[in-house]
């Protein structure tokens, strides 16, 4: 059944969510404290968590595993990977997956794509988060687009409590390295990972080259691919969304694919969808 939206065509009334503005401003502000809390170990923690939460949690977990089901892993491992994605502070799994499935179902549609590039760079990059539209942010509405996850009690729990999971993460970082680890491992990491991820919604629909001539504006952007562990090969992905490998040419580096390939070698990843030559 095709995905339907009850949203009026070309809605013009948007309401700024000041709570979201305050939240994003606070995290960005705390990230700016990084120079005063610098240590090499804190920088290392930030880089490691950017990879763990970004490549494994978001790119491999939320995106290729949950949204597109481009491979399968045992349920216990799927839960672990999804929990890692939840720690990225990019929303719960049902919210994230539902939004991305809508993006693919209605790519660049002005109203039906949550982060449509037709609304401009800044809308698709971050403004859609602070001008939340009910059909994309109301659980009772968006849950319909991820019914497979919504049937799982653990995923419903993660979807409700993703913010609370930042508390044990913060306490662990503080215990390991004090405020330096907290600033770098939570706030600076969150800001850098947010903007890395958001570039896929914004920059890769505006700049880059195309291996496939599609009806949408998706592009392959090499520097975005580096920042997002392979997600920047976005034209490839839109052409074959269920394929586990985003980098298709030999020089299109896809770090997340390396992780999937490792899981496959270990016998943990099954039914891996590969590109058809």
pLDDT (mean) for 7-36: 86
133 vs 5, 116, 139, 260, 268, CA distance in Å? 12, 13, 12, 34, 38
Average pLDDT rounded to a whole number, residues 35-39: 97
User: Is residue 3 predicted with pLDDT exceeding 70?
Assistant: no
**Share of residues in the chain with pLDDT > 90 (%):** 91
Q: What is the pTM of this model?
A: 0.92
Select from 234, 235, 229 the least CA-distant residue to 259: 229
| 232 secondary structure, DSSP code | T
Mean pLDDT for 143-150 is 96
Query: What's the pLDDT score for residue 277?
Result: 66
Bigger pLDDT: 26 or 9? 26
For the segment 49-75, the average pLDDT, to the nearest whole number, is: 97
pLDDT at 18: 96
Q: How far apart are CA 96 and CA 62, in angstroms?
A: 7
Q: Which of 190, 173, 184 is nearest to 24 (CA)?
A: 190
What is the pLDDT confidence band of residue 7, given thresholds at 50, 70 and 90? very low
- Give me the mean pLDDT over the 94-119 stretch: 93
Rounded Cα distance between 244 and 230, Å, is 11
Pick from 77, 140, 155, 105: nearest CA to 3: 105
Q: Determine the average pLDDT of the residues in 188-198.
A: 97
List the Cα angle 98/103/108 in 5-degree steps: 155
Q: How confident is the model at residue 5 (pLDDT cuts 50, 70, 90)?
A: very low
Angstrom distance (rounded) from CA 234 to CA 199:
11
Size of the chain in residues: 277
Confidence label for 12 from pLDDT (cuts 50, 70 and 90)? low
Find the mean pLDDT for residues 5-34. 82
Q: Is the pLDDT of residue 142 over 50?
A: yes
If one counts every other C-beta atom within 10 angstroms of the C-beta of residue 230, the result is 26
For 2, counting Cβ atoms within 10 Å of its Cβ (0-12 exposed, 13-18 middle, 19+ buried), the class is: exposed
Mean pLDDT of the chain: 93
Mean pLDDT of 171-182: 98
Least confident of 21-30, 58-67, 150-159, 211-220: 211-220
Q: Is 133 left (phi over 0), alpha (psi -120 to 50) or beta?
A: beta
The set of residues, in sequence order, having a beta carbon less than 8 Å from that of 174 and lying 6+ positions away, is: 181, 182
The pLDDT score that the predictor gives to residue 6 is 37
Q: Which among 228, 205, 207 has a CA at the least distance from the CA of 218?
A: 205
Task: Give the whole-number percent of the chain exceeding pLDDT 70.
Answer: 95
Q: What's the rounded mean pLDDT across residues 209-218?
A: 92
What was the pLDDT predicted at 14? 87
């Amino acid at each position: 059944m095709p995905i339907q939206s009850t949203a009026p065509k070309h809605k013009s009334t948007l309401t700024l969510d000041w709570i979201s503005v305050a939240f994003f401003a606070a995290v960005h502000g705390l990230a700016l404290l990084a120079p005063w809390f610098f240590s090499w170990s804190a920088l290392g923690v930030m880089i490691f968590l950017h990879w763990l939460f970004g490549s494994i949690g978001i790119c491999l977990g939320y995106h290729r595993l949950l949204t597109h089901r481009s491979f399968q892993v045992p349920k216990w491992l799927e839960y672990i990977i999804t929990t890692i994605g939840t720690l990225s502070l990019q929303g719960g799994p049902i919210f994230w997956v539902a939004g991305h499935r809508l993006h693919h179902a209605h790519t660049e549609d002005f109203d039906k794509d949550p982060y449509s590039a037709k609304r401009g760079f800044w809308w698709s990059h971050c403004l859609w988060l602070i001008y939340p539209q009910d059909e994309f942010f109301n659980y009772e509405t968006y849950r319909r687009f991820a019914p497979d996850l919504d049937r799982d009690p653990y995923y419903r729990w993660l979807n409700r409590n993703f913010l609370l999971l930042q508390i044990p993460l913060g306490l662990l970082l503080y215990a390991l390295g004090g405020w330096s680890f907290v600033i770098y491992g939570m706030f600076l990491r969150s800001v850098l990972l947010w903007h890395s991820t958001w570039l896929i919604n914004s920059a890769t629909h505006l700049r880059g080259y195309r291996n496939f001539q599609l009806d949408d504006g998706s592009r392959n952007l090499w520097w975005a691919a580096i920042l997002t562990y392979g997600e920047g090969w976005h034209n490839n992905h839109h052409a074959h969304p269920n394929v586990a490998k985003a980098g298709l040419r030999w020089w299109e580096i896809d770090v997340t694919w390396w992780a999937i390939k490792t899981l496959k070698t270990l016998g943990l990843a099954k039914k891996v969808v590969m590109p058809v030559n």
